Amino acid sequence: MYGDVVRALSVSKYFGSTKALSSISLRVKKGEFVLLLGPNGAGKSTLLKLVAGLYRPTSGRIFVLGSELHNNFGTKEAEIRKRISFAGENYALYDHITVMDNLLFFAKLYDIPDPSERINALLGDFGIEDLKHRRVEELSRGTKQKVAICRALLNDSDILLLDEPSAFLDPAASELLRAKLERLVREGKSIIYATQRIDELFNFKSNILLISRGRIKMKGSANSILSSIRNVDVEITTLNSVDAGAIKGNWTLKKSSGNSFVFQVKSVSTIPELISSIAASGGKILSVNYLKENIIEMMAD
């Protein structure tokens, strides 16, 4: 439909009387990276599952590669599903069988011929090839997450739906995933990536949808989303002691404990000025962190 690989039209989803999504519309083009950002319970996972055809919308329609995916589908929809991958927030692997058996099973369902080579390559990319004969139940949470990502990448799909894929990954694996996804987008794949981690805003060149309480609150770039958020709490830790209260500007000092200070800035664009001011007053800055809970709360407002 109009060249969109995913198109959701006024989609709402209720679970009983609980509203999970309210009249959401979404368009994803070929080769587009869409980042769904929002706190827990915002509706990100529900939206991804609707696109994946795991849920039916209560109202509205969703077209994926030009077709609606129903609950009881036939051959045509099976062909479309071959072109979709999904990695949910639960790693959703079979615990009692090995990593290799898990991946071979999914490869068979996606009709991938001679999948062993591809599986070995993917596992090798994430540094877990030597664990392929281990049962999934013996793996750490992070390793299970890597296997789940390998499964999602197995079928070389046109649409990749990822729900908090980096939640349990170590920094090296997160970086690898980021690089892989960027390459896939360059190859024309479309990706919808859900996260509640504010630090992932700048990881990808993406269109961002800010979701809260089942609605899309805002669309735009990382900068436009961040600059629209007011009164952000920022925690700054210094190596040496600083008279933080004496550093004046477009912010207020909310809390200080030793060399750790929590400032509330009027907008995110003020943060570089705050950092410069601390440095100018002799502070050697060790770390700067957004207080995530605070930002997520603001998103939910």
- CA nearest to 180, candidates 48, 87, 79: 87
**Residue closer to other proteins, measured from CB, 7 or 151:** 151
- CA nearest to 204, candidates 229, 217, 216, 186: 186
Contacts for 277-283: CB closer than 8 Å, 24+ residues apart: 277/247, 277/249, 278/236, 278/238, 278/242, 278/244, 278/247, 281/242, 281/243, 281/246, 281/247, 282/240, 282/242, 283/236, 283/238, 283/240, 283/242, 283/244
Single out the segment in contact with other proteins by CB under 8 A; choices: 100-108, 171-179, 189-197, 224-232: 100-108
**Residue closer to other proteins, measured from CB, 55 or 261:** 55
Single out the segment in contact with other proteins by CB under 8 A; choices: 97-105, 124-132, 244-252, 286-294: 97-105
CA 153, CA 122: separation in Å to the nearest integer? Answer: 8
Question: In whole angstroms, how close is the CB of 135 to other proteins at the nearest point?
Answer: 8
**Residue closer to other proteins, measured from CB, 108 or 284:** 108
Contact 57, 12 (CB under 8 A): yes
Single out the segment in contact with other proteins by CB under 8 A; choices: 31-39, 102-110, 199-207, 222-230: 102-110
**290 CB burial (10 A radius; 0-12, 13-18, 19+):** buried
Residues 36-55 that bind other proteins (CB under 8 A): 49, 52-55
**Residue closer to other proteins, measured from CB, 15 or 202:** 15
Residue with tokens 């980096």: 166
Binding mask 55-94 for other proteins (x = CB under 8 A): xx--------------xxxxx--xx-xx-xxxxx-x-xxx
**Residue closer to other proteins, measured from CB, 86 or 251:** 86
Q: How many residues bind other proteins (CB under 8 A)?
A: 37
**Residue closer to other proteins, measured from CB, 95 or 293:** 95
Tokens linked to 214: 């089942």
19 binding other proteins? (CB under 8 A): no
Residue type, 61: R
Q: Is 137 left (phi over 0), alpha (psi -120 to 50) or beta?
A: alpha
End-to-end CA distance of the chain: 34
Residues 146-185 that bind other proteins (CB under 8 A): 148, 151
**Residue closer to other proteins, measured from CB, 19 or 292:** 19
**Residue closer to other proteins, measured from CB, 177 or 262:** 177
Single out the segment in contact with other proteins by CB under 8 A; choices: 104-112, 185-193, 215-223, 245-253: 104-112
Among residues 63, 106, 204, 251, the one that binds other proteins under rule CB under 8 A? 106
133 binding other proteins? (CB under 8 A): no
CA atoms within 13 A on the CB side of 273: 12
Binding stretches for other proteins (CB under 8 A) = 49, 52-56, 71-75, 78-79, 81-82, 84-88, 90, 92-97, 101, 105-106, 108-111, 135, 148, 151
